[in-house]
Amino acid sequence: MVDGCGVTGTSAGLRRVFDEVFALEVAIAAFVFLVVLGALVFSVARRRAGVAGTPSGRAERPRLELYYVATLAAVAVSLVL
């Protein structure tokens, strides 16, 4: 074992670990890309339809911000573990 992480010193073992990490990174990148693309398509379609929303009177959105921070923290923790 190398550093007690359960990875053997063989190149095949290291290649397997690299492939697993790479697959996880590709999945996360694809998810983020699809979310951003969906938001872009939604906003363009809404703009083209001429739907004019009224601006909110609130300057801050603490519940939404808390959800955002919690989501980022969960992703960070899952990457570390």
- The reply to whether 6 falls in a domain is yes
- The reply to whether 69 falls in a domain is no
Average pLDDT score over residue span 7-30: 86
- What pLDDT does residue 4 have? 56
- The reply to whether 50 falls in a domain is yes
Domain count, the chain: 1
- The reply to whether 33 falls in a domain is yes
- The reply to whether 63 falls in a domain is no
Confidence band, pLDDT 50/70/90 cuts, at residue 11: confident
Work out whether the CA dihedral 9, 15, 19, 22 comes out positive or negative: positive
10 lies in which domain range?
1-54
- The reply to whether 32 falls in a domain is yes
Q: Is the per-residue pLDDT at 69 higher than 90?
A: yes
- What pLDDT does residue 46 have? 84
Per-residue burial over 25-40, b if 16 or more Cβ lie within 10 Å, else e, is eeeeeeeeeeeeeeee
Whole-number mean pLDDT of the chain?
84
- The reply to whether 77 falls in a domain is no
Q: Is the per-residue pLDDT at 3 higher than 60?
A: no
- The reply to whether 12 falls in a domain is yes
Average pLDDT score over residue span 31-36: 96
CA–CA distance, 67 with 79 (Å, rounded to integer):
18
